[in-house]
Structures are given as C-alpha cells and as structure tokens.
Amino acid sequence: MRISIAHSTVYRYEPPANGAVQVLRLTPRNHDSQYVARWRIDVSPDAQLAMREDAFGNITHVFSAARPLPEIRVDVDGEVETQDGNGVVRGTAERFPQSLFLRDTDLTRADAAIRALAEEIGTANGCIPLDSLHALMRRLHDEIAYDTALTNTPMSAAEAFALKRGVCRDLTHAFIAVARCLGIPARYVAGYLQLADGITEQEAGHAWAEAFVPDLGWVGFDPANAICQTDAYVRVAVGLDSLGAAPVRGARYGISAESLEVAIKVGQ
Amino acid sequence: MLSRTADNLYWLARYVERAEYLARILDATLRLTALPLAYVGAGNEWQSAVATAGCADAFAAAYPEANEDTVTHFLAFSPANPSSIRCCLESARVNARAVRTALTVEMWDTINGAWLELKKWSDGPSSRQDFSSFLRWVIESSLRFDGSAYRTMLRNDAYWFSRLGLYIERADNTARILDVKYHLLLPAIEPVGGPLDYFQWASILRSVSALTAYHWVYRENVKPWLVAELLILRDEMPRSLASCYENLVQNADRIARAYGRQGLAQRQARTIRARLENSRIEQIFQEGLHEFLNDFIKDNNQFGAAVTQQYLV
Amino acid sequence: MFDEMQGSEQSRQVVRPAYAALWDWLGETKPDVLDFRRREAELLFRRIGITFAVYGDAEAHERLIPFDIIPRILSASEWDVLHRGLVQRIKAINAFVNDIYHRREILKAGVLPEDLIFQNPVFRPEMNGQKVPHDVYVHVAGIDVVRTDAETFYVLEDNARTPSGVSYMLENREIMLRLFPELFSRYRVAPVEHYPDELLQTLKSVAPSAASSDPTVVLLTPGLHNSAYYEHSFLADKLGIELVEGRDLVVKDEVVHMRTTEGLKRVDVIYRRIDDDFLDPLVFRPDSALGVPGLMSAYQADNVTLANAVGTGIADDKAIYSYMPQILKFYLGEDPILKNVPTWRCRESDHLTYVLEHIGELVTKEVHGSGGYGMLIGPAADRATIAAFCAKLKSNPKDFIAQPTLALSTCPTCVEDGIAPRHVDLRPFVLAGRDRIHVVPGGLTRVAMPKGSLVVNSSQGGGTKDTWVLDR
C-alpha cells in the first residue's frame, strides 16, 4: 500500500515565548515491510535541524528557536510504501536485546489489577505467548472504552485500566504492562494508521504495541482496533512507553501560555 | 557573571534598602502619633504610613482599619505581606544565600545574622519600647550591610549591580514618601509655618534621616518647598532623587565600560538625571509636584525594567 | 572489636604508633580545655553556615552535622594500600560502565546476569551507544571504606553518581588547623587543601574536543533547597567556577550556554550535582524543572561533558556491588586490593533462604535505598521490626541484598561523658581525568555518635571527623 502522510503541528505562544527547544521523533525508518519513498520535515521559524538517532534507533531532529517566539510550526510530509507482514515486523533497527523491553517505567508499571489480569490470561492460554497476546489485545479492546476526551490527560497503564477508558496510548500502555508481567518483552510504537473507512483527516497520530514472540520476532498488536499490524500502519518510533516514543518533546522559556493545533492527513 | 547572580545581588540590595525604609517610616509615624493631636492634625498617620510603603491595596484587603496595631504588624511582621520588614529580610537572605559565593563574609554574616536575630521577634514585639529597638535594629542592620558592601566588596560588576538595586529602591522610596505627603508640601493649603506642618515636615525628613542635613544645607526653618528641593534636587543629600540618579548613572556606566557595550539602561539613567539636573523647584511646583513625582516613579520603574531586560534575565 | 587508637581487644595496652602523639596530647590536655575547643569548633561551623537539610525534618531545616574534634589517623602504609585499592577500583568501574553502554562484553561472557542490567532502574537505556568524552564516566567517586582489623579494609559502597561530603573533608581540616595548631606540630599530616585544584584540573581534562584550550566549567546544582547546596556553593567558590541552576543554562543548536550579564556564554564541562532523572526534561522526567531542556542532545553531539556521566548509577548499584570482585578481574585481570563485603543476593533463591534464616545476624538493605534508609540491622532490631522487614523482603526479594554485620572499627570520640570509642567509616574521594587518577590523601571520616550504633549517615545523626593521612 502506498500511504501519503501530512502532519502539521502549530504551537502558539501568548505572549511570545523567550525561546524553545524541541526533540522530534517524526521520521520513519525502513524495515522489511515499510519503505519510505519520500519524507520531508520542515520547521518554522528557520532553525538548524540536527538529525540524530536516539538510543532505541529512532531518528530524531533537535532544534532550538530564539526569542521572541510567537509560534512554532512543524510540518511533516511524505509517502511510505507498506506491505502486509501478517503482523510480524522484521528488519527493524534494533539497539538492545529483547529482554530490555521487560523493563517497567512509570507509565507502564503494573499494579495488582494488571498483575491479576496477566495471571488470568496466562493461565487461560497455557502460557503460550502468541495466544496470550491475542487474548490480551481483545480483552483490552473490549474492556477499555475509547474516549478521545482523554487525549491530553496523561495516565499510567494502571490508571487507565482502573478507569476503563482511554485513547490508543492508554490501551497500548496497558497492553505493554500486562505483556511484561507475562514475561513477554513489549514496547510502544508511535506512528500513523490509514483508516479503513477512508477518512483521511485525523486529530492525532496512532499508537500500538509490539511484543516479542519466540520464533516469530516482534509482532505488532493494536489493542485500540483489536488487530495485528497490517499494511495500513506506518511505524515511526518505538520506546519503552509513550514518552520514549513521543513524536515531539519540547520546552519553552518564559511564562507564556501555549495553544496547540494538530492536523494530520493519512491517505492514499 | 551569571544573570541570575546579578539579579540576586540586585534584589538583595533592594530588599535590605526597603526594610530600612519601612523601619524609618514606622519610626517616624510612631513619633508623629505620640504627639498631641493639635500638633499633627486629624489625618490618619497610620493610613498614610501604609500608603507610603506602597501597599495600601493589600492592606485594605487584609484589615478593616489602619491603626498602630494593624499597621505595625502589617508593615513589620506580617508573613502575608511580601513587603513587610520581615519578608524583606527573609527575601534578602534567600537572595544572599543563592549568591553566597559572590558576597564577602562580612556581608553574608550581616544578612545571615539579621535573619537569625529576626526570629527573636517572630511573635511580634513585646512592648512599644521593644518595637522601637526592633526598628533601630533593622536600620542598623541595613547600615552594617551597606557599610560592609562598601568596604569589602571588589569593585566589579557584582558591586555595581548591587548598587543599582540599592539606588533604584532608594529613589522609589524617596519619591513615594514625597508623593504621599505632597499635599503638605504644597503652599497655601494651610497657613505656612504653623506647628502642625512643622511636625509633618520634620517627620518626612526624619523618615529619610535628613532632619539634621536640612539644617546644615539651608540654615533656615523647615519650609515645605525647601524640603521638596532637598529630597528631589540637591545632590549632596544622599537620599535625594538627584543623588540616587547620580549614582545610578555612574554604576550603569561602569558596567557598560567593563562589558564594552552600552544600551537602553545607560541611556535611560542619563535622561532621568538630566531632567533632574535641569529642573528648578519653583517650576516643579508650578507644573504639579504630584505629576512630577508620578512621572518619576514611572521612569524609575522603567529604568529598573531596562536593567533587568539588559542584564538580569 | 578493632579500635583505631588501641588496636584489637588483645592488644589494648599498646597504643598504635600513628596515634601515639595524639594519645600523649589527649593525656596532657585538660577535659575543660578540650570541651572549650569543642564548643569553639561548633561555633566556627555555625558561623561558616554549614547547613544540612535532613529529609522530612522540616523543623530543623538547617542544622549542623556534629563534628568531632579528635582526628582519625591513618599511617602512610595504610594509606598506600587504600590508595592502590581505590585507583584499581575506579579503573574497573570506568571500564565497566563503558562496556555496559557499548559492547556489553561482560554480559556476553556471562559474568553478570543480563536482567540485572536491563531491568535495573539505574541502567539508562538513553546512554546506549552514546560516546562520552575520553571514555571517562565516573570522574568523581566517593568510595565508602570500613575496616575490621589492622590489615583489612572493606569497600562498603562505590558512590559513583554524585557523591557528596568533600566540603566536610576540607572544612574539617580548616577548623582543626585553626583550633589545634599544637597537635599539627606533633604530626606531619598530608594536606588535602589542594582537592579543589585537582578537581578543576580533572574536569578541564575531560572537556569535549570541540572546547577551547581553556574550557569553561560550571557546577550545576538543583538549588538552595538541596541538602548538599552548601557543598555546591562551597566547591564552586573554591574552584572559581560558576554555580549554575538549570534555568541559567540554555541549549542552542546543540551547544550549552549560560546566561550571563554579558549575554550567552558557551559551557564545556558541567560538574553536575543533579540526579540523572532531572537533567533533561526532554529525555528523562518530563516534569523536571531543575534540568536543562536539550542538554542530552548537546551531550550526544559531543559538545559538552557531564561529570559524572549519565547512567553511572549502574556502577554503584547494591546488587551489582556483589559482583565487583568478578568485575575487577574481568576488566583488569587483577584481584581486588580492597575486599568486598560478602553479599547475599536475595534474588537468588538459595541466598534468600539463607538470609531469611539468619536475618538476625545480617544487615539487609534495599538495593535502591540510600542514606541508611530501607535497611535492617539484624542484631539491633526487635522482633516486630524484623517480622515487618521479612514480609517486605519476601514480597520482593530481588530488591534486597544482605551482608554480615561487620564489626566496624572504632575511634576515640568526644561524647557527653568524656572520650569513648565510636564506630567510624571512611569516604575517600577519587578523581578520574583524561589520563590521570588522583586521590587526595584523606577523606571524610563519618562517625556513628550514639553508643554502639553502626549507622554513620549524616541523615541519621552521624557526625564527622577530620581524617589525617601521615606523611612518611
């Protein structure tokens, strides 16, 4: 599938900020079932965009902008060719052994409820990883209601699981937390999803999980849609949680108020 | 030097100066209110002390009435009033502690010592006499701090920034006290020279420790326009606006020379000084003392903002 | 029980040679004179304003660490052993951290279990593959050493993150020189006052290659409210460098600058006394207001040196500690000069069984606790405390290690009713630069003030002593 992506983010500061620094993880890499045909990233005001790679192998761009800074615009535009890998993701940039992805983080730390779910799913599926993960994905999809009102409410996996509501980020955190309890390495993926219903305008990027299954390798699970990764998914960055894979992490100087506007188009 | 360090030094000096000024106002008000009513008139001196301290609104929000108890508490000891003597000394120490390495031992000892000593009065004064000795102690601490800065600090940017803070604060204080009392300084509201006015003028002079200086300079009875002239235009008077700006120009220029660059702050200081140099007291009265002082307070604030913008952030 | 002055119980009649002159002097000096000097010392410390905020102790927001005027003395030959042992230790630690964040040979060789690294909160994935200037990770270490007899020194802990206490080493000496000049005339004590010079030289030597020949070094502090703030400002002053907070620094195009009254100025080396977690909100804790946004990007671009490097906590982790002899052997091919305290790792089931059976004799510690918190001293604890601790231990054994209760040496100390032996440890400070490792002859001797107590941490009421290393 050939997927074109346009993703623009505008930060407005009132009064103008005294400067800002941002780290962007907005550039996908190639792997066996993903080829980046064209990709451009553009920042205004003009700034030196330094391209590097983070510890997980994600491509990052860092830039700083000086005062007075009324707004920052980050525009991403590109085309990616994808193939269906039956959920399995091969040929990715790996910088760690899988066991690193058993590490817990503040956002993915298990609590008693999550541990109980892990135990239940493990037992029900005879501790077979692939079966457990499929069961887990369906379970979270059915149990946690999708609620976009929570987009800007950062929550941990445990909090989202207790609330039984969340966005793709929260479902993914919960998925990761349970998988790690089962001893299955799991990680967070930030990227784009081309929707089946043909809607191209989206309010936010997508997020799902990858879990490491013996004999298969990394497999993409999308608990928000209860499917494994298909050729409709464009994988941009991975991390231990949403913070590690965040498309943008930034800071501004001064005491201005910030407003944010995001426009994403994912389509053929 | 670090902008934050310069900022701390600047505010350290301002807070110490403000604490001293508050102590002087309170001291002068105490004296004034101790006089029989016939000598001072029926105005509420405590209300005017609050106004002079520049925190009338905050006071009104916290207390129903201005009297000795409420005002001394509010201006001297209240932890809720960021401009109380107590808070000033505490803020001074916070700033001092943040830049301890930029201070001399003597300066640090003075501020730290004052802060420790302050705890003695954490429950307020035990008597009027105790309060008087508190005020004397505040003034002495400020003098000791100023003296130790003058005698022990290297003459470099650290010193110059702390002097900028000191003189900006002092200029603001002098202008404020004049502004609150300006109606007394205006001729022809009451028959000039009555006993009532004498004590009010003397009180103004006392609050800027200029009563003796007045007599040295003028060798005359206390006359309102001369009081105004002394505190606005006479540069031999250390708390006058003219003297403050003489010092501000000098210190700002030293910074510019050391850094090899001058900017808005230097230009503003010179402009304000020139205006003071070229003014005559008759003319100020003619055009309105209140307007003059108001403009000055605004200009002085703007100069402070220019210093901040240019060096301290 | 070994006493620094009087040796082992069997030899109590003979004063050990290094202490002979002190013994004589203590005999000659009247108790009231001693007491007077003690109070004078306290006054001096108060004047200097040494403050130490104790966690959770809002009342005593600023209070003094007790200072004991009787010095702890080490002979030249004792120091020689310590010195060699410390240098060896820091070499191994630096090789280890470098390896962990790059090739991970030690894991491939199976010396350490992989999960002990990858599941360890003090391991920083963000440092993976990151080159640090001149491959030095731990530039300043405070290695805690205790002794149990005349010959044996044990390393108790390798503090490889942001060890503090060096200001006490320096201040203690200053005070002693002022108060007891006559005692110094009876001894030839190696000086420690050049520590700040050595530290500055060490820091400049590890500047990134992009820096000028005279690199700009700053000390980054979390600020006034940090318990070690006094030390930060003390050191900045002694080193003649700026004491900066996060908000004083700004990253522009991958270069760190400080805001000065003359505009932005480039910074090359940051001696940081802020924990990893707070360094850069764009990489670590997003809510950190203490750090510098973008700092890690400048670090990655090789435009700034952080001392100590990020992620060095992996070297002073209590669980890793138990492997230190193997780590030394692996990287240096040498046996450790300073002993490791035998350690049971509760993560291993046979160790756990042993620990639970012998908990009354052992010191059991939480792997990620510090400052004497989260620790059980078996022989000193009552039944209820032990039971509660065991429950905690059983629920999460991998977070605990246990060690035998060492009979820490004692040193004569001024107490309420005269002079009595109190348990001590020693924290020497090791500096590792581009091509030189230096240990200033001395260190911070910490003393447990209550009788019989083995806890020397200042956060738990421990005091300090001046540490004298005798010149040969």
- Asked whether residue C51 carries a pLDDT value surpassing 50, the answer given is no
Looking at B89, B120, B153, the residue that finishes a domain is B153
Q: Per the domain annotation, does C269 fall within a domain?
A: no
Residue C387: both structure tokens together: 């039971």
Q: Is the pLDDT of residue B225 over 90?
A: no
Chain C closest CA to B6's CA: distance in Å? 7
Residues B246 and B225 in one domain: yes
Tell me how many degrees the CA angle C366-C368-C371 measures, rounded to the nearest 5: 85
Set out the domains of chain A in order of their start, with CATH numbers.
Answer: 2-81+247-267 (2.60.40.2250), 85-239 (3.10.620.30)
Which burial class, exposed, middle or buried, applies to B41 when counting CB atoms under 10 A from its CB (0-12, 13-18, 19+)? middle
Q: Identify the domain boundary among C388, C404, C420.
A: C404
Do B135 and B42 fall within a single domain? Answer: yes
- Is C432 found in the same domain as C348? no
Q: What is the rounded CA–CA span in Å between residue B301 and residue B296?
A: 8
Residue C20 lies in a domain: yes
Q: Give yes or no for residue B169 having a pLDDT over 80.
A: yes
C114 with A54: Cβ contact below 8 A? no
Query: Is pLDDT above 70 for B41?
Result: no
Q: Are residues B120 and B46 in the same domain?
A: yes
pLDDT of B28: 86
Which chain B residue lies closest to C235 (C-alpha atoms)? B101
For residues A212 and A186, the answer to whether their CB atoms sit within 8 Å is yes
Per the CB < 8 Å rule, is B311 touching C245?
no
With vertex at residue B272, the alpha carbon angle to CA B271 and CA B273, rounded to the nearest 5 degrees, is 90
Write down the ipTM of this complex: 0.94
Q: Which amino acid is at B120?
A: K
Amino acid identity of residue A231, one-letter, is D
Confidence tier at C53 by pLDDT (50, 70, 90): very low
The C-alpha of B265 sits at a distance from chain C's nearest C-alpha, in angstroms, of 13
Backbone phi and psi for residue A82, each to the nearest 5 degrees, phi listed first: -125, 155
**For residue C339, is pLDDT > 50?**
yes
Of the candidates C129, C254, C281, the beta carbon closest to that of A50 is on: C254
C189 with C122, same domain?
A: yes
CA distance B148 to chain C (A): 17
Residues C176 and C70 in one domain: yes
Q: Are residues C64 and C113 in the same domain?
A: yes
Confidence of residue C261 (pLDDT cuts 50, 70, 90): very high
**Consecutive H or E run containing B271:** helix B264-278
- Does residue C350 share a domain with residue C335? no
Last-in-domain residue among C404, C421, C444: C404
Residues 201-260, chain C: which have Cβ within 8 Å of A? 250-254
A57 touching chain C per CB within 8 A = no
Question: Phi, psi at residue C67, to the nearest 5°?
Answer: -115, 130
Calpha distance B165→B161 (Å, rounded) = 6
A46 has a chain C CB within 8 A of its CB: no
Q: For residue C184, is it within any domain?
A: yes
The pair of three-digit structure tokens given for residue C432, joined into one six-digit string: 């590792």
Count of CB atoms situated within 10 Å of the CB of B265: 24
CA-CA distances (angstroms) from residue C448 to A220, C67, C147, C379, C414? 56, 11, 14, 16, 12
Question: Does C58 score more than 50 pLDDT?
Answer: no
Average confidence (pLDDT) over B270-276: 96
Distance CA B131, CA B72 (A): 9
* Phi/psi of residue B181, nearest 5 degrees: -100, 10
Domain housing B112:
1-153
User: Chain B residues contacting C, CB < 8 Å?
Assistant: 1-6, 94, 97-98, 100-101, 108-109, 112, 157, 161, 255, 259, 261, 311-313
As given in the structure block, the two tokens for residue B223 are 């006359």
What is the rounded CA–CA span in Å between residue B120 and residue B133?
Answer: 12
In this predicted model, what pLDDT tens digit does every residue of C382-419 receive, in sequence order? 999 999 999 999 998 988 999 998 889 999 999 888 89
Which residue among C237, C245, C262 sits closest to B4, beta carbon to beta carbon?
C245
Number of domains in chain C: 2
C348 and C465, same domain (yes or no): no
Whether B255 and B310 map to the same domain: the answer is yes
Mean pLDDT of chain C: 91
Q: Look at residues B153, B179, B206 and tell me which one is the last residue of a structural domain.
A: B153
- Residue at which a domain ends, from B105, B123, B153: B153
Do C368 and C331 belong together in one domain? no
Contact present, C315 and C158 (Cβ < 8 Å): yes
Residues C386, C433, single domain; the answer is no
What six digits make up the tokens of A25? 């993880």
**What CATH code is carried by the domain that includes residue C394?**
3.30.1490.270
Statement: residue C434 has pLDDT above 50: yes
The answer on B226 and B80 residing in a single domain is no
Stretches where chain A sits below pLDDT 70 are none
How far is Cα of residue A157 from the mean position of the Cα atoms in its chain? 14
The model's pLDDT over C189-238, given as tens digits with 9 standing for 90+, comes to 999 999 999 999 999 999 999 898 999 999 999 988 887 888 898 899 89
Measured distance CA(C49)–CA(C58) in Å, rounded: 18
Is the per-residue pLDDT at C56 higher than 50?
no
Strands C418-427 and C410-415: antiparallel
Are B101 and B189 found together in one domain?
no
Looking at the structure, tell me whether residues B134 and B170 fall in a common domain.
no
φ/ψ of residue C376, rounded to 5: -120, 125
Torsion of CA A236, A242, A246, A251, to 10 degrees: 180
Q: Tell me: the pLDDT tens digits for C105-160?
A: 999 999 999 999 999 999 999 999 999 999 999 999 999 999 999 889 999 999 99
- Asked if residue B104 and residue B56 are part of one domain, the reply reads yes
Q: Average pLDDT of B265-290?
A: 93
Q: Which residues contact A165 (CB under 8 A, 6 or more apart)?
A: A144, A145, A146, A147, A150
Peptide bond into C325 cis (omega under 30): no
Token couple for A101: 């992805």
Position of tokens 């002859």?
Answer: C441
Burial class (CB in 10 A: 0-12, 13-18, 19+), C350: exposed
Average the pLDDT over C435-443 and give the result: 96
pLDDT confidence tier of residue C57, bands split at 50, 70 and 90: very low
pLDDT value at B98 more than 90: no
Residue C352 belongs to domain spanning: 344-404
Per residue in A242-264, is it b (16+ CB within 10 Å) or e — as a string? bbbbbbbbbbbbeebeeeeebeb
- For residue C49, is it within any domain? yes
Chain C, 285-324: which have a CB under 8 Å from a chain A CB? Answer: 286, 293-294, 297, 300-301
Q: Which residues of B touch C223 (CB under 8 A)?
A: 98
| B20 and B101 together in one domain | yes
Last residue of a domain, one of C353, C369, C404: C404
**Same-domain status, C150 and C65:** yes
**What amino acid occupies position C334?**
E
- C357: helix, coil or strand? helix
The contacts of residue C254 (CB under 8 Å, 6+ apart) are: A50, A62, C294, C297, C298, C300, C301, C303
pLDDT band at C282 (very low <50, low <70, confident <90, very high): very high
Confidence band for C59, pLDDT divided at 50, 70 and 90: very low
Q: What is the pLDDT of residue B191?
A: 47
pLDDT-based confidence at residue C63 (cuts at 50, 70, 90): low
Question: Where is A78: in which H helix or E strand?
Answer: strand A59-82
C78 shares a domain with C194: yes
- Flag whether residue A43 sits within 8 Å of chain C, measured between CB atoms: no
Task: Say what the pLDDT of residue B200 is.
Answer: 79
Let me know: does B192 contact B223? Beta carbons within 8 Å: yes
Tokens standing for residue B44: 């509420």
Task: Mark yes or no for CB contact B2/C47 under 8 Å.
Answer: no
Say whether residue C261 is in contact with chain B using an 8 A CB cutoff. yes
Average pLDDT rounded to a whole number, residues B78-88: 94
Structural domains of chain B, count: 2
Bridge partners of A250, per DSSP, are A22
B309 and B160 both lie in a single domain: yes
- Select from C469, C453, C424 the least CA-distant residue to C145: C424
Return the H-helix or E-strand segment holding A22: strand A2-27
> What's residue C423's pLDDT?
95
CA distances from A37 to A25, A50, A202 (A): 18, 21, 22
Per-residue pLDDT for B198 more than 80?
A: no
Tell me the percentage of chain C whose pLDDT exceeds 70. Answer: 95
Contact between A146 and A140 (Cβ < 8 Å): no
C36 in any annotated domain:
yes
B196/B229 same-domain check: yes
- What is the predicted pLDDT for the residue at B122? 82
One domain for residues C335 and C382: no
User: For residues B19 and B85, is the Cβ–Cβ distance under 8 A?
Assistant: yes
- Picking from A24-38, B25-39, C92-106, C251-265, which range would have the lowest pLDDT averaged per residue? B25-39
Q: Do C348 and C335 lie in a common domain? A: no
∠ Cα C149 C155 C161 (to 5°)? 155
Same domain, yes or no: B297 and B213? yes
Containing H/E element for C266?
strand C263-266
